[in-house]
A and B are shown apart, each in its own frame.
Chain A
């Protein structure tokens, strides 16, 4: 059974960079069949896809965040990471990592989520 788990600081100061890592177990990020995504959910609001990465290094980002976001993968550790720069209070959210089937067949496995608060 594939499992994903987010890790990183729960509190980030405004204007700084939010950095999170997702560790995959029970499977490998080096599969041609999947993309690996970051999705966030502000408190009480809906889901926003941030971006994804394929093990080959190909990335796609949400255009609304593209200037501030970077996603990378470490195949040796079965991890992928999110960096979101110049954060503001509007970036406060639960951040999820998820596995995305390559043909748009949905996010079939999710991490438990990690709440990141942007505050001084």
Chain B
């Protein structure tokens, strides 16, 4: 199975900050990397698919990049509603695997 590792596990930031979250795969997954946002008590929401494609309705302050084993999710200017937990997930092969998550907290 492909292992997904996210860093950092938690991050403190302020409204207006630019933040970057990292996800690393244990083997090459080409560009098959998806990012989700989850708020407490709510199902995850797909933000970005295939590493860099913004899901419909997702604000343009979110962006993704990367390929093979190293990927990033950036938020250009944090808004209050962006404080949440973010997960990466590889879609390259089954079984699908998720990273352990990065919790984005307000400073």
Contacts and interface: CB of A to CB of B under 8 A. Distances in A.
Interface of A: 37, 46-49, 51-52, 60-63, 96, 98, 100-101, 103-108, 110-113
B95 A103 contact: no
Contacts of B90: 104
Interface of B: 1, 32, 34, 36, 43-46, 49-50, 55, 87, 89-101
A106 B43 contact: no
B43 A96 contact: yes
Contact of B97 (A49, A101, A112): A49
- Of residues B43, B55, B92, which shows the largest number of chain A Cβ atoms within 10 Å of its Cβ? B43
A46 B95 contact: no
Given A46-B100, A107-B44, A62 B49 contact: no
Given A103-B91, A104-B32, A49 B46 contact: no
B77 to A, nearest CB: 24
The 5 closest A-B pairs by CB, nearest first: A104-B91, A106-B34, A110-B43, A106-B49, A49-B96
Given A104-B92, A108-B55, A49 B98 contact: yes
Nearest to B85: A46
B43 A113 contact: yes
A116 B87 CA distance: 22
B15 to A, nearest CB: 26
A106 B46 contact: yes
Given A47-B87, A105-B91, A106-B34, A37 B96 contact: yes
Contacts of B36: 47, 106-107
A2 to B, nearest CB: 13
